[in-house]
Amino acid sequence: MTTMTRMTRMTRIEEAGRGVRQVIGTVGGQNLILALAIVAVAALFGTIDPGYLALSNIRVIGDAVTIVGLLAVVQTVVIICGALDISVGSATGVASVVSAMTFMATGRDPLLGMGTALGAGLLLGLVNGVIIVYGRVNPVIATLATLSAYRGLAQLLSGGAAQGYVLGDDLFIFVSRGSVLAIPTMVWILVAVALAVHVLLKYTDIGRNLYAIGGNDTAARLAGIDINKYLIAVYALSGIVAALAGIILTARIGSGHPTSGSVALELKAITAAALGGCALKGGKGGVGGTLLAVVLLGALENGLTFHGISTFWQNVAQGALLVIAVVIQQRRSGERPVGLPT
């Protein structure tokens, strides 16, 4: 082999290496890992039972991840801002009840039912924001309190029982069972919300300010950013998206229910955001990674259910994934582990 040939091969290898690094830089190392994990999960369960990869089951996964996906996307915004919203699952339950009860009380008007639910979600989000900003309460404590309060509110409004029946209405049927271009309506709703949030975070001053607040709130305040206004707005957005998830939940179940389908949604949303690369201290994260994590969790949960694994073990797996995500973040940050010597 001549020297020229060796140099040519080394040049090609270097170019290939640069190409790989560019792809990783564009996609993101964490996103690439999540994508590979999705492929691995699909390959594993598909090998065990080819029915797992059937189009009908893929559609089931798509339907199942929609509600969690919506909450995870808006949780990403909250976490980037350096906060947390543990009440989103309960807010979803309130919106579900309100949408169905208003639908029945207004002569089966779906637009009034959905509009009232979105208004209720906005109000619940504003309450969270006001408590945190003006009550000067830690976001975790504040939303932990409203988690319980909103769940109780949903039960009070409904008497603890399912309310109404919406599957006789064309609009609710379209939301729960319709499709556009062979893709379920619910998935389109998730894509639309995720795309809007992505544009907000990446291409607007609002998004840059949210990252600044989460990265260093003192510097953001000195730069003239009204942190209180942004926090209240972020929680209002969280409430609206939680209400949208509640409307979809009502359409899927067929009635408004205070707890069914909304319990533990907040944990799933936080897990997806953390797995997707959101730093729980704020200032880092994105919608793309969150959506990949949502798909991974949905594929894993569906695969375990598909093969008859107990939901108890699914909960164990979900909790373990959250711990793993936080440990990885801690190691990458380079900070000294709490309670251990340097």
Residue type, 156: L
For residue 59, give every residue at least 6 positions away whose Cβ sits within 8 Å of its Cβ, in sequence order, or none. 184
pLDDT at 1 over 90: no
pLDDT at position 160? 83
Give me the architecture of the 31-331 domain, per CATH: Orthogonal Bundle (1.10)
Residue type, 277: G
- pLDDT: which is higher, 325 or 146: 146
pLDDT at position 59? 87
Per-domain residue ranges for the chain? Answer: 31-331
Residue type, 102: T
Mean pLDDT on 213-218: 92
pLDDT at position 2? 59
Whole-number Å distance between alpha carbons of 284 and 212:
10
- pLDDT: which is higher, 24 or 289: 289
Burial status of residue 227 (CB atoms within 10 A of its CB: 0-12, 13-18, 19 or more): middle
pLDDT at position 334? 59
Per-chain mean pLDDT for the chain: 87
User: Percent of the chain at pLDDT above 70?
Assistant: 87
Query: pLDDT class for 23, splitting at 50, 70, 90?
Result: very low
Whole-number Å distance between alpha carbons of 143 and 323:
21
Residue 256, SS3 per DSSP: strand
Mean pLDDT on 247-253: 93
Mean pLDDT on 293-311: 85
pLDDT at position 13? 56
pLDDT at 19 over 50: no
Residues paired with 163 in a beta bridge: 256
pLDDT at position 21? 47
Residues 80-114 have pLDDT tens digits of 999 999 999 999 999 999 999 999 998 889 999 99
Residues 109-133 have pLDDT tens digits of 999 999 999 999 999 999 999 999 9
Please state which of the ranges 7-21, 157-171, 294-308, 309-323 shows the lowest mean pLDDT: 7-21
Residue type, 294: V
Query: pLDDT class for 270, splitting at 50, 70, 90?
Result: very high
Whole-number Å distance between alpha carbons of 159 and 176:
25
pLDDT at position 24? 47
DSSP per position, 71-102? HHHHHHHHHHTT---TTHHHHHHHHHHHHHHH
User: Percent of the chain at pLDDT above 90?
Assistant: 55
pLDDT at position 55? 86
DSSP per position, 162-200? -B---TTSHHHHHHHH-EETTEEHHHHHHHHHHHHHHHH
Mean pLDDT on 193-208: 96
pLDDT at position 20? 43
